[in-house]
Amino acid sequence: MKRNFKLIRLIITAVILSPASMAIAQSSPKYLSQPLIKTIYTADPSAHVFNGKIYIYPSHDIDAGIPENDNGDHFAMRDYHILSMDNINGPVTDHGVALDIKNIPWAGRQLWAPDCAYKNGTYYLYFPVKDKNDVFHIGVATSKNPAGPFKAEPQPMKGSFSIDPAVFTDTDGQSYMYFGGIWGGQLQRWADGKYDANGSKTDLKKDDEPALSCKIAKLKPNMKEFDGPVKDITILDSNGKPLLGKDHNRRFFEGSWMHKYHNKYYFTYSTGDTHYLAYAIGDHPYGPFNYKGIFLKPVQGWTTHHSIVEFKGKWYMFYHDTQLSGKTHLRNIKVTPLTHNADGSIAMIDPFK
């Protein structure tokens, strides 16, 4: 009996130490956190606390069989599912289809990263989608329930363009929309305020000029219209100079978010082709913002997109990677704690252990 145990131990040790199993161990990354939901592919999670629960407004990734390109044509999403959690480590509820592209009268294709806001008993779902001429605009849909279903307004928001709306409501009750994204998000085509269909397909290609800015618009009390002109969000370097177009490690690309901490405004965003999440701090929702650094190293997959939310006195970052599929356009959302250091900086997060 004893000899048999020894033999079994020897065999197990040999298997564990075999070159094949060591190769597997080396090649499978150790992720910082696990996908929140595995039954559908999800990305671009905008998280909010409504009625004491966490509601997540993600993109719903699908495989439409479209080849990958710099325009992002392979991100061909057609509806939104809203998710909720009672607790950060608790089960995740998928509330089903909250808005379908076929019910957005002006939509053509590609429902990208949404966000949601609440005011006076109504929830407002903001979403970017290409119109029937293949130009991105931002639409709004309403519901009395944070999980939907949502009903879309018949037209895009007047004066809106590009992608990735993030709506921040300040402590005084005023809401602002941050939006924009370069390359496939088409922000570079609006560089002169009007749409230029022949504009560059990626960025402005003006390396030594200030980089393209994320946009901000104040929202009217009806939450469906911009109140005044769209303005630029300026990110300054440590010399007080705007970041330049060639500064791909630091300049804004897409996926902005705003949170307020200790009376400072934290503008956070993706650097796109360099795959970082970066942050810049200011004293007003409009900025200017002083560049501070990166706080999320590159995740698995090309895109990186996040939101930051306080829940029960702790801060969390929702983000995505491609752990489940290994494919750029089939992503899965995750959550991890986020730490503000005593000096106001954000502690670096490594998506791998």
Total residues interacting with ligand FUB, rule: CB under 6 A: 13
Phi-psi region of 348 (alpha: psi -120 to 50; beta: other; left: phi over 0): beta
Q: CA–CA separation, 283 vs 306, rounded Å?
A: 22
Residue 322 binds ligand FUB (CB under 6 A): no
Kindly tell me which residue out of 35, 41, 42, 43 binds ligand FUB, with binding defined by CB under 6 A.
43
The structure tokens listed for 9 are 């131990």
Q: CA–CA separation, 127 vs 144, rounded Å?
A: 17
- CB closer to ligand FUB, 53 vs 298: 298
- CB closer to ligand FUB, 203 vs 254: 254
Q: CA–CA separation, 8 vs 304, rounded Å?
A: 46
- CB closer to ligand FUB, 72 vs 242: 72
Residue 321 binds ligand FUB (CB under 6 A): no
Residue 264 DSSP symbol: E
Residues 109-148 that bind ligand FUB (CB under 6 A): 112-113
Residue 11 DSSP symbol: H
Kindly tell me which residue out of 59, 186, 188, 322 binds ligand FUB, with binding defined by CB under 6 A.
59
The structure tokens listed for 317 are 């970052």
Residue 44 binds ligand FUB (CB under 6 A): yes
Q: CA–CA separation, 164 vs 136, rounded Å?
A: 10
110 to each of 22, 73, 152, 214, 254, how far by Cα in Å?
42, 8, 15, 20, 16
225 flagged as catalytic: no
Residue 278 binds ligand FUB (CB under 6 A): no
The site map against ligand FUB for 144-173 (x = CB under 6 A) is: -------------------xx---------
- CB closer to ligand FUB, 44 vs 203: 44
Residue 305 binds ligand FUB (CB under 6 A): yes
* Residues whose CB falls within 8 Å of the CB of residue 212, separated by 6 or more in sequence, listed in order: 180, 182, 187, 188, 191, 203, 204, 245, 251, 252
Residue 303 binds ligand FUB (CB under 6 A): yes
Strand partners of residue 157: none
Residue 84 binds ligand FUB (CB under 6 A): no
Q: CA–CA separation, 203 vs 162, rounded Å?
A: 13
The structure tokens listed for 138 are 């931002």
- Shortest Å, Cβ 1 to ligand FUB: 58
- CB closer to ligand FUB, 210 vs 272: 272
Residues 200-259 that bind ligand FUB (CB under 6 A): 254-255
44 flagged as catalytic: yes
Strands 254-261 and 264-270: antiparallel
- CB closer to ligand FUB, 237 vs 302: 302
The site map against ligand FUB for 177-196 (x = CB under 6 A) is: ----x---------------
- Shortest Å, Cβ 43 to ligand FUB: 5
- Shortest Å, Cβ 112 to ligand FUB: 4
Q: What is the largest CA-CA distance in the chain?
A: 83
Residue 157 DSSP symbol: P
- CB closer to ligand FUB, 274 vs 290: 274
Candidates 61, 203, 254, 321; catalytic one = 254
Which phi and psi (to 5°) does residue 285 adopt?
-55, -30
**Residues belonging to the active site:** 44, 254
Residues at the contact surface with ligand FUB, assessed by CB under 6 A: 43-44, 59, 75, 112-113, 163-164, 181, 254-255, 303, 305
